[in-house]
C-alpha cells in the first residue's frame, strides 16, 4: 500500500470485485459503510500508477443473489438491535459500491482521462487523500467524463454530488466553485433543463 504524503496509509474502504475500463465495483470491508456518492476513491495498480474514481452508486444486498432480505425487526427490535439479534446478517449481507475512473497518476503526472488499464480484481480501494482530490479538482474539466457514464444515477445528480463533496473537502472554496460552475455550464450548454438543477444544488 502506498503511504500518503502525511505518512499515514490511506484508509482502505473495500476491495475490487468487478472491474472494467469504464467502471469498477468494490465490496466494502464493513457492512453498511461505504464512501458517499460523489466522493473520490483510489486504487494503486501493480505498476504503481494510481486510478482515481468517483463513487457513482452504492447498495447493500444478500451475498447470495437468490436470497432476498426479509423484515427482521419489530416495534421492540429496531435498527442496530436487529443486527445484534441476528449476528449472521453481517456474514450473509454485503455492501458494494460502484466507482467511475476519471483520472490516473503515472509517475508524478495526473492525467484526467480514463486509465489505460482497469484496476485488478481484489485490489484495495481506498479513500483518496485530500491533496489528490485538490490536485485533481484544480482543473475540473474531467467532470465531463461523469456525464458519459452509463450509470444508474443520472449524470447531473452525480456531477452535483461530486462537486458538493469536493467543495466541502476543499474547505468551502467559493472561488473554486465559481470556476466549476462555469465548466458545468459549458458541459450542459445545450441542455438548460439539466443545467439549472445542477447549478442550484451546488450553490453553497
Inter-CA distances, 155 with 20, 78, 88, Å: 19, 35, 37
Q: What is the dihedral of CA 40, 53, 158, 202, to 10 degrees?
A: 40
Among 6, 64, 109, 150, binds another protein (CB under 8 A): 64
- Choose one: 28-36, 48-56, 89-97, 146-154; the region binding another protein (CB under 8 A): 89-97
Give the ranges where 8-129 is alpha helix by DSSP (H): 80-85, 89-92
Q: Which is nearer to another protein, 82 or 110 (CB)?
A: 82
92 binds another protein (CB under 8 A): yes
Inter-CA distances, 162 with 35, 64, 80, 96, Å: 12, 31, 29, 18
Among 30, 84, 122, 186, binds another protein (CB under 8 A): 84
Minimum gap (Å) between residue 63 Cβ and another protein: 9
2 binds another protein (CB under 8 A): no
Q: Interface with another protein by CB under 8 A: which residues?
A: 64, 67, 70, 72, 83-92
Amino acid at each position: 500500500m502506498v503511504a500518503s504524503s502525511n505518512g499515514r496509509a490511506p484508509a482502505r474502504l473495500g476491495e475490487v470485485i468487478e472491474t472494467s475500463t469504464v467502471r469498477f465495483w468494490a465490496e466494502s470491508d464493513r457492512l453498511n459503510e461505504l464512501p458517499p456518492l460523489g466522493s473520490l476513491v483510489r486504487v494503486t495498480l501493480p505498476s504503481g500508477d494510481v486510478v482515481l474514481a468517483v463513487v457513482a452508486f452504492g447498495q447493500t444486498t444478500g451475498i447470495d443473489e437468490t436470497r432476498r432480505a426479509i423484515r427482521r425487526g419489530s416495534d421492540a427490535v429496531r435498527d442496530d438491535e436487529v443486527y445484534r439479534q441476528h449476528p449472521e446478517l453481517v456474514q450473509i449481507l454485503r455492501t458494494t459500491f460502484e466507482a467511475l475512473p476519471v483520472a490516473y497518476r503515472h509517475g508524478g503526472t495526473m492525467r484526467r482521462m480514463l486509465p489505460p488499464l482497469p484496476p485488478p480484481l481484489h485490489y484495495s480501494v481506498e479513500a483518496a487523500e485530500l491533496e489528490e482530490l485538490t490536485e485533481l479538482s484544480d482543473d475540473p474539466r474531467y467532470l465531463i467524463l461523469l456525464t458519459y457514464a452509463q450509470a444508474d444515477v443520472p449524470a447531473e445528480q452525480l456531477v452535483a454530488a461530486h462537486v458538493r463533496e469536493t467543495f466541502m473537502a476543499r474547505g468551502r472554496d467559493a472561488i473554486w466553485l465559481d470556476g466549476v460552475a462555469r465548466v458545468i455550464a459549458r458541459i450542459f450548454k445545450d441542455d438548460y433543463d439539466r443545467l439549472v438543477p445542477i447549478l442550484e444544488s451546488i450553490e453553497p
